[in-house]
Amino acid sequence: MRKFLEAIWAFLKLAAIAGAIALGSCTTARTILKQAPTDLPKNWQMPARVDLPEIRARALLETEIYGEMDLSPTVEIVSFEQRPAEALTSPATVAQWRLRVSYGADARDMDLILVLPTDVPNAPVILSQNFCPNNSVIPLAGVRPPDDVDSTCSGGGFFGMLMVKIFGRYIVQPPLQDILDRGYGLAAMYPSQFVPDRGEAGLAALDALFPNHANRPGALAVWSDLFTVAARNIDTEFGERPMIAYGHSRFGKTALLAGAWSDDIDAVIAHQSGTLGASALDDKEGEPLDALVKGYPHWAGEGLNRYQDRPKALPVRPADLLALTGHKPVLLGNARRDVWGDPWGAYKEAKAAWGVAFGAATPADFRPGDRKAYWLRPGTHGVVKEDWPAFLDFLDAHFP
């Protein structure tokens, strides 16, 4: 018996060593095991500021990465309804649109939901793009799910619960009541309703929206334009007010694009935006460009395919995108163990984009009052309990 136990023990040790070697030789596992720094390395040198002229930066971001960004859709209001919100502890209005959006060819529907505090004049609106349909994100009575969408994370369902367990308490639902209590409205969109977030279906929708286009926009470009569509509809119905583009991860990428391109967006919260967001493309940290292009072939324009194996050859970089946000308040959210999202790369790009306007002395130096701010918390990829208080502190500093 003793021999048998010893043999099992030896086997377990060997298996652990083999497992560690296997993990260490796999890029994805190495990335998961790492932590981003909270301090500057000893030999830190401030990166040089990017200096591409704005017109050139925009042109290159379009031809080499995202596809066309100057999109002017026609938008038809298919339906609009509005009523007082129930089940909230403060007075608010719920408004819900179904918009039919076309870029000249196929037209597709996008649902927009807004909860607006009625006791705050001109309340700024946080426009959120989400992984789940609107009725999961803002689960008030009467909020409708999109037609023809098979995914749901609703009401205690297994998928929703799993998402919350893995990616944090706010991954599906931002804290609506806290947001209203702090004086903001919350709007939600489900970009996958418009361009499905799946390789083949996404590409088919893009081809139908932009047939024979010389530089067809990728899904990120189109989704980012939906922020503008939402902002304009809300302004028209409820009066002009500050509009904040918010998104996590892939929608952190779209929030940054909207902040860089749209005059209708006044501020950005881009949480863990990663590759094709704020993070560096020319270092070995984070999600490699070829992994993104293969995994999500519908996200970028076709120009990016030329660079998937040689990101260093790109003539434009994330800092150029960040620089296009001008004077708008921008918060880059990060988590130390989200090395796939490359927090350190985002810090370096922010320095290169904004120079002294980006005051964070180290990655741990959260300064909500700065127009360009950086938030780094412990933990992994997701939207957890510390994140929204930090986002709201940042917004309060800029929209008092």
Q: Between 29 and 397, whose beta carbon lies closer to ligand GCU?
A: 29
96 is an interface residue for ligand GCU by CB under 6 A: no
Q: At what angle do helices 219-238 and 250-261 cross, to 10 degrees?
A: 60
Question: How far is it, in rounded angstroms, from Cα 71 to Cα 83?
Answer: 32
287 is an interface residue for ligand GCU by CB under 6 A: yes
CB of 296 to ligand GCU, least distance (A): 7
Could you give the angle at the alpha carbon of 60 between the alpha carbons of 58 and 66, nearest 5°? 85
CB of 275 to ligand GCU, least distance (A): 5
Q: Between 116 and 322, whose beta carbon lies closer to ligand GCU?
A: 322
Residue 145 dihedral angles phi and psi, to the nearest 5°: -80, 155
Sequence-ordered list of residues with C-beta below 8 angstroms from that of 150, at least 6 positions apart, any chain: none
CB of 188 to ligand GCU, least distance (A): 16
How many other CB atoms sit within 10 Å of the CB of residue 2? 6
Residue holding tokens 């409820």? 238
CB of 201 to ligand GCU, least distance (A): 17
CB of 226 to ligand GCU, least distance (A): 16
Report the DSSP beta bridge partners of residue 116.
93
CB of 299 to ligand GCU, least distance (A): 8
- Choosing from 128, 129, 249, 334, the residue that interacts with ligand GCU (CB under 6 A) is 249
CB of 277 to ligand GCU, least distance (A): 7
How many other CB atoms sit within 10 Å of the CB of residue 55? 8
Question: How far is it, in rounded angstroms, from Cα 137 to Cα 96?
Answer: 13
- Choosing from 130, 275, 334, 380, the residue that interacts with ligand GCU (CB under 6 A) is 275
292 is an interface residue for ligand GCU by CB under 6 A: yes
Q: Between 340 and 388, whose beta carbon lies closer to ligand GCU?
A: 340
Q: Between 138 and 276, whose beta carbon lies closer to ligand GCU?
A: 276
Q: Between 97 and 340, whose beta carbon lies closer to ligand GCU?
A: 340
The CA–CA distances, whole Å, from 83 to 22, 114, 124, 141, 196 equal 57, 11, 19, 11, 30
Q: Give DSSP secondary structure letters for 299-358.
A: SS-GGGGGGTT-GGG-SS-HHHHHHTTTTS-EEEEEETT-GGG-HHHHHHHHHHHHGGGS
- Choosing from 182, 216, 250, 398, the residue that interacts with ligand GCU (CB under 6 A) is 250
Could you give the angle at the alpha carbon of 278 between the alpha carbons of 203 and 57, nearest 5°? 80
Per-position x/- string for 304-343, each x denoting binding to ligand GCU as judged by CB under 6 A, each - no binding: ------------------------------------x---
Number of residues that bind ligand GCU (CB under 6 A): 8
* Token output for 76: 């038809």
Q: Between 163 and 186, whose beta carbon lies closer to ligand GCU?
A: 163
**In whole angstroms, what separates CA 302 from the centre of its chain?**
21
Q: At what angle do helices 219-238 and 199-209 cross, to 10 degrees?
A: 60
Residue holding tokens 């403060």? 90
Could you give the angle at the alpha carbon of 390 between the alpha carbons of 243 and 228, nearest 5°? 20
Question: How far is it, in rounded angstroms, from Cα 162 to Cα 165?
Answer: 5
288 is an interface residue for ligand GCU by CB under 6 A: no
Question: How far is it, in rounded angstroms, from Cα 270 to Cα 261?
Answer: 14
Question: How far is it, in rounded angstroms, from Cα 191 to Cα 246?
Answer: 13
Instruction: Please choose, out of 19-27, 256-264, 287-295, 329-337, the segment that lies near ligand GCU by the rule CB under 6 A.
Output: 287-295
Q: Between 250 and 371, whose beta carbon lies closer to ligand GCU?
A: 250
CB of 373 to ligand GCU, least distance (A): 20
CB of 110 to ligand GCU, least distance (A): 19
Q: Give DSSP secondary structure letters for 78-109.
A: EEEEEEE--S-SS-EEEEEEEEEEESSS-EEE
Residue nearest to ligand GCU (CB): 249
> Which residues in the 197-216 window bind ligand GCU by CB under 6 A?
none
Q: Between 180 and 257, whose beta carbon lies closer to ligand GCU?
A: 257
151 is an interface residue for ligand GCU by CB under 6 A: no
CB of 247 to ligand GCU, least distance (A): 9
Q: Between 31 and 134, whose beta carbon lies closer to ligand GCU?
A: 31
Question: How far is it, in rounded angstroms, from Cα 151 to Cα 140?
Answer: 18
274 is an interface residue for ligand GCU by CB under 6 A: yes
Binding site for ligand GCU (CB under 6 A): 249-250, 274-275, 287, 292, 295, 340
